[in-house]
A and B are shown apart, each in its own frame.
Chain A
């Protein structure tokens, strides 16, 4: 069973609404990733953190998407104004720091924007 916990499993929002999803990484994993997996099963990297610091993020993330990993709280990914094209499976993953470390995924939040 996945030790990366994502909530909610399913999320339905209207266009223009905010959509927020949460992730609790595996215990002891300071590195957290967010990916979007579209209906064609393609992975798109969004952002990653080490502890509370952003390591990498793509341009799309900087505009309508925001994310944070506060200490002692779940990480979160929020879409400020949902669009139909945001409908996808949002996967959170975590790992230990350092090179060549295994990355483990949560079960994801399936967002549907109607």
Chain B
């Protein structure tokens, strides 16, 4: 069993659609990261959150500590949002980072 599981693995959406990517984890965290990897390979850190919700432009990340679950939402999706989104958690009990396998998002014009 993976410590971090993401769903869906692949997602295709029409431009303008609201998108949700889910992340469930089984290890203790401090905090949880959402990363974005563009087709060219570059990785950008989108959010780091320990509780509640964060918003940046059209991106919203939420986390429920009790349920060990986080979601990444994209409002009014755009083709430039096409990328792989990776959830990662840091376990301070073992000084380990655990990564989800990523969600590959394609937004069609």
Bound together: no
> Which residue numbers of A lie inside 8 Å of B, CB to CB?
none
